Structure 1
């Protein structure tokens, strides 16, 4: 199996389009997976953490954790040709990284079916 490239979502229109995808809520985040249907096998990943979660320091720390997990898990368990958006939830910053890893693996495999 050849590795599939992983890119980052940056445009607002891409996030809005991905919002129509399937959702898998967990204790630390909500994962949305939306197949693009454009024939491009590249997986794209985006991260969102709102101001309700905390200040800039807290939000950036949460996004750093999500980026590290996505680099590790999305190439193996993600859906090729789809956009993956991770939305941080209130309890996500206090959760141990191993719990988040387990939750992301479970959510990706469930939505890839």
Structure 2
């Protein structure tokens, strides 16, 4: 299932300024509660991580982890930004999913059933 995306810079900035933040070895999450409508996801990776090829590969890993963890029935009313780190690329995928679940729990985003997707 394709998850709704954040694409406008102002949405990313609003999540960074007002949202809750949690850091894990594989990623950083910024979650802004109380938005209208469905949950929206944004992905970003800074140039410190690497060149365009590396950054795009990192974002693909984050997108897939988010799809598996949040895909079946995402919690409504959240804007969530996932920020890739150096370790995002090399971290084992199951640990990356665990990082995402832990960060979601820390910021108060509840995944339905508490287990996340495993499809």
> TM-score surpassing 0.5?
yes
The question of whether the paired residues in 2 share the 8 Å contact of 1:43 and 1:79 is answered with: yes
TM-score by length of structure 2 reads 0.81
Unaligned runs of 5+ in 1: none
Secondary structure, counterpart of 2:49 in structure 1:
coil
Shift in Å at residue 74 of structure 1?
2.2
The counterpart of 1:12, out of the listed 9, 14, 31, is 9
Residue 45 in structure 1 maps to residue 41 in structure 2? yes
- Alignment match, 1:110: 106
- In angstroms, what is the RMSD of aligned CA positions? 1.9
Shift in Å at residue 6 of structure 1?
3.4
The question of whether the paired residues in 2 share the 8 Å contact of 1:77 and 1:109 is answered with: no
Shift in Å at residue 77 of structure 1?
8.2
TM-score by length of structure 1 reads 0.85
The number of equivalent residue pairs is 107
Unaligned runs of 5+ in 2: 111-119
- 1:51-66 alignment runs, 5 A limit: 51-66=47-62
The counterpart of 1:34, out of the listed 32, 35, 40, is 32
Secondary structure, counterpart of 1:8 in structure 2:
coil
Distance 2:74 2:24 in 1: 16
Shift in Å at residue 108 of structure 1?
1.1
Shift in Å at residue 79 of structure 1?
4.0
The question of whether the paired residues in 1 share the 8 Å contact of 2:35 and 2:79 is answered with: no
